[in-house]
Chain A
């Protein structure tokens, strides 16, 4: 390939000048659409998935499929590699260990070359046939198209109810009107992603991250949803707490990234107010019962606790300011806060 001609460090020219021209002609142009699929222990699903994507995108001239093997312990990588060998549009990225879906997705995004990036689950619960519809919306001018699962074929108690509650909560807190944050099938214009660096379990909040902080146009369309055919789900109810913690983080980052002291000052204010109430109780007890009796010591003591908390929060806020000031300036931070204020 062309790269082999120019090893990075030695600038030896290609022996045959015409070879370059030929290679340039032969080299495929940048693909327009990159489909990114994180895979973890999905060996039975790889083949059907690749075939389904190929069928779904058969009308498009330029696309690529980036399979990210997130440290699977089964034959996922071998399956994926076989697909990649038989179709140059399929590429596989094997991560060194199991990092989790968010990081795997970030790895896929980093590797994707298309102007439009589509993210999708590896378990075939999303239907690749929906991809062209997402792409059509991007064509219309939207920056981010999010799928929502209209009729979910999953158990009510373990999936639907927690999911419904989580979506309500996320919607209420982030104020981004996305119906289904848990649906992985999304299409992005590439530059939207450039500024977002995903870590922890943040992939659920991409719309919230993008919407709250840039002037991106977001669109939501219904997509198909199938029950899992092979393998088993890697989610449990334990993610409820994770979602809550991440939500708190996202909220804090969105509102207070530029002024951490302000966030802590709010807390300090509330704590001071509580302290004032107890101070008043102390004074009332003092004036009505004379010099404090031992039994009334709870009020002054509680007053000290509340004021102590207020002081502590202010100091933490100052630490936050220091952290912000000393942070390496990063493009993602700029994008994330672009439209927030």
Chain B
């Protein structure tokens, strides 16, 4: 779906495109700022005024893209007013709920600049640090994610953040501090290359590293309005955990699912098989089986193990069958 099968792909994936042309570094900065309106939107025109200030002061060429889903239509009129006053604002109104991943993809195909800066529809970081994010991408990185630092919010938020990133770091071995901050600068091709769907946009930095992109974390002072302690409903934590598990499975085992399923499956069948073997020996020595419920456990574990193993084989077959169409590596440079 995301890549064609033909041979030109092999060429296209090869060298990364060179950094955008910079005729004179001080003057020609171009950036598209994408505001994804997904949850708890604040006053969008205030947001625009605040976050466009640094770009205006630096004299950069910029535009703001707001993506509005049907439920957020009422937020449009003030933006239109700004547009009429000549502000570089465009509004993408979509007919259905896309979620952040879908909105990012859409924005990627509509923005004018090669570098995108994404913002959530509320205050996360101080506006002053945004140009710095863009500059990191202009220099060499493909993705620069903001890390809210120094933080000003409630200790409860920080604790949640710590725990989440401890798990992320332990499982991915990538020491990020704030991967889901939502403020990030990236090259447009990143959005085209990375399979982004569902809630996985939260893990964009990890997915980008997996695809061989260069990712940096840039500390940005946390905004004074991003201070409220947030306790989410239990379902949210559950969904995050499932996402986390899904991402780690995909990162580590996408190309070798049998490594995972095989380990679980053969472990289960070995335990089950051992139980059955012991029972068989005892049966041959004369002990009856009919009143041994542990027989059920043995059969259960064994069959369960075989099922898991078989699932792994199917997954492996699918990976194998699709291997030829998937570019498996990315070349950074040649010499």
Residues of A bordering B, CB below 8 Å? 77, 80-81, 84-85, 91-97, 99, 103-104, 106-107, 110, 197, 199-201, 241-242, 244-246, 248-249, 252-253, 257, 260, 263-264, 267, 271, 278, 281, 285, 295-296, 298-299, 301-302, 305-306, 308-309, 312-313, 316, 319-320, 323-324, 327-328, 330-333
Contacts and interface: CB of A to CB of B under 8 A. Distances in A.
Nearest to A285: B290
Given A94-B334, A330-B325, A298 B295 contact: yes
A-side binding surface: helix, strand, loop or mixed? helix
A199 B319 contact: yes
B314 interface: yes
Given A107-B329, A271-B303, A91 B317 contact: no
A215 B10 CA distance: 28
Max count, chain A CB within 10 A of own CB: residue among B292, B307, B321: B321
Contact of B255 (A199, A248, A267): A199
Contacts of B293: 298
Interface of B: 5, 10, 16, 209, 211-214, 255-256, 258-259, 262-263, 289-293, 295-296, 299-300, 303, 306-307, 310-311, 313-314, 316-325, 328-335
Given A301-B296, A324-B317, A199 B335 contact: no
A245 B328 contact: no
Contact of A252 (B296, B313, B335): B313
Given A107-B329, A281-B289, A299-B289, 15 more contacts: A95-B331, A96-B332, A97-B209, A110-B10, A199-B255, A245-B259, A245-B263, A246-B258, A249-B313, A249-B316, A298-B296, A308-B303, A309-B303, A309-B307, A330-B324
Contacts of B291: 295-296, 298
Given A200-B256, A281-B289, A323-B317, A97 B324 contact: no
B334 A320 contact: no
Contacts of B212: 95-97, 99
A316 B311 contact: yes
A296 B10 CA distance: 63
Contacts of B256: 199-201, 245-246
A213 to B, nearest CB: 13
A94 B331 contact: yes
Contact of B333 (A94, A201, A242, A316): A94
B324 A328 contact: yes
A103 to B, nearest CB: 5
Give the most central of B292, B303, B316, B325: most A CB within 10 Å: B303
A174 to B, nearest CB: 16
Nearest to A331: B324
Nearest to A263: B313
Contacts of B313: 248-249, 252, 263
A245 B303 contact: no
B296 A91 contact: no
20 contacts: A91-B335, A92-B334, A93-B331, A95-B332, A97-B209, A97-B212, A249-B313, A281-B290, A295-B290, A298-B289, A298-B291, A298-B292, A298-B293, A298-B295, A302-B295, A305-B300, A306-B303, A316-B310, A328-B322, A333-B324
B307 A302 contact: no
Contact of B322 (A257, A267, A312, A327): A327
A197 B329 contact: no
Q: Report the 7 A-B pairs with minimum CB-CB distance, sorted nearest first.
A: A96-B212, A330-B324, A327-B321, A81-B335, A96-B330, A309-B303, A92-B335
Given A110-B10, A241-B263, A99 B299 contact: no
A321 B209 CA distance: 34
Contacts of A104: 329
